[in-house]
Amino acid sequence: MVSKAEIDKLARSIADEFLNGKTTLNKIFEKVSPKLSELEYNSNGTALRMLSEENPKLLYNHWDFFRDLLRAKNNYLKMHALYIITNLCKVDKEEKFERVFEDFYDLLDCESLMIANHTALVFGKIAKAKPKMRDKITEQLFNIDSTHWESKKKDLIKGYAIKAFSEYFELAKNKDAILDFVSNQLSSESSSTKKEAIEFLKKFKKSF
């Protein structure tokens, strides 16, 4: 079993090699493949994720690669794409995200709970970076009950949605509806979601 520390250490060295001109993005892309070892494809995917966080402009012209990776069968590769595209939204002047929005919200209803949770979570950063998409993103997070998950798992995803709302609540138009959604989670089957709801309401609802 490969540890996160191992992956992160190797990923940092790969990212630094690129920044120092010792490797190319295309060489890194070639190694983001499930045909390789878990350490190799995860470290290269993590390196790209690091670069997208530090300087998203470096990767923006390669949007289509990450869009295709978002549709990968391997959930770890899909996770990398999820976070990289989220980071690229900060510099998305061509509104490329708007064209993959359906792919994103479909992930709330995918086969992997891990991916569904993190999709709900990253919507917060995307809503912050994409003012025109905020209302649409909020509606999708409100619609978690329409997914196929059993009630306990829906409640868990809602905890990640609450974290997302905290990213852009002060910028949102429909604050009352968000507060209602969060208040409803005080009776959640998920203790972690209930905790997120309490913390959110303490922070944003003075009367709580």
Residue 60 identity: Y
3-class SS string, 22-88 = CCCHHHHHHCCCCCCCHHHHHHHHHHHHHHHHHCCHHHHCCHHHHHHHCCCCCHHHHHHHHHHHHHH
Q: For all residues of the chain together, what is the average pLDDT? A: 96
pLDDT at 165: 98
Is pLDDT larger for residue 207 or for residue 37? 37
What is the structure's pLDDT at 171?
95
What pTM does this model have? 0.95
pLDDT of res. 205: 81
d(CA 73, CA 77): 8
**pLDDT tens per residue across span 132-190:** 999 999 999 999 999 999 999 999 999 999 999 999 999 999 999 999 999 999 999 99
